Chains A and B, each alone.
Chain A
Amino acid sequence: GIQVEQSPPDLILQEGANSTLRCNFSDSVNNLQWFHQNPWGQLINLFYIPSGTKQNGRLSATTVATERYSLLYISSSQTTDSGVYFCAVERGDMRFGAGTRLTVKP
């Protein structure tokens, strides 16, 4: 099946800093989503982005399908951004990366 790799595995930031999370995948995909899993375990949809660039407030995402990667940008991070960020790709089935655990310190 398709392989999904996320980097970095862990990230610690001071409040106000910017960050870039990366998702690499091993084959072409039909769909790609980014999720935030908050400290209570809830999965929150961030972006549905099989290709192109989207922005939502302080967050933006870019997927370059031809080069098989996607980036999630978080600007001016806040403590509420803490949690685990997952990339998930779909090609016949749905595969998740192992996630990036983000900790934002006040």
Chain B
Amino acid sequence: NAGVTQTPKFQVLKTGQSMTLQCAQDMNHNSMYWYRQDPGMGLRLIYYSASEGTTDKGEVPNGYNVSRLNKREFSLRLESAAPSQTSVYFCASSEFSLHTGTGRRNEQFFGPGTRLTVL
């Protein structure tokens, strides 16, 4: 039971290049999330997927696209990388969606992160 896995662990891109970050979870969770963490800050939500086939914007979606490939996998794509996208990217999953409300344990579990540098 690996939990949440992410690939790659490290990546260096040149401005304008594209790439896809991969995330998979084996906890049979319905919801998955992509966050970014910049130095000295907490995580900020980029996109999330409440269930297979649905995606929604988070706090900082500009410059990113996502695909919920199936229940297990959620990918994040940078079409034209910019230096401002240099960050550590975390994927997470939870059993329920962000709109579940109170009464359900909706704990999020995080992957190990991908450190991305855009030159």
Q: Which residues of A contact B (CB under 8 A)?
A: 1, 4, 30-31, 33, 35, 41-43, 45, 48, 50, 86, 88, 90, 92-99
From B40, B59, B102, B105, A93 is in contact (CB under 8 Å) with B59
Whether the Cβ atoms of B105 and A88 lie closer than 8 Å is no
State whether B98 touches A93 (Cβ < 8 A): yes
Interface residues of B (CB under 8 A from A): 33, 35, 40-45, 48, 58-59, 88, 90, 98-102, 105-110, 112-113, 115
Shortest beta-carbon distance from A39 to chain B in Å: 13
Structural contact, A90 and B43, CB atoms closer than 8 A = no
B99 (CB) vs chain A CBs: closest residue: A92
Total A-B pairs, Cβ < 8 A = 61
User: Which of the residues B33, B43, B112 comes within 8 Å of A86, measured between beta carbons?
Assistant: B43
What is the CB-to-nearest-CB distance from B68 to chain A, in angstroms, rounded to a whole number?
Answer: 17
Q: Main secondary structure on chain A at its contact with chain B?
A: strand
Residue pair B98, A88 in contact (C-beta under 8 Å): no
Residue in chain A with minimal CB distance to B107: A48
Provide the residues of chain A in CB contact with B58, threshold 8 Å.
93-94
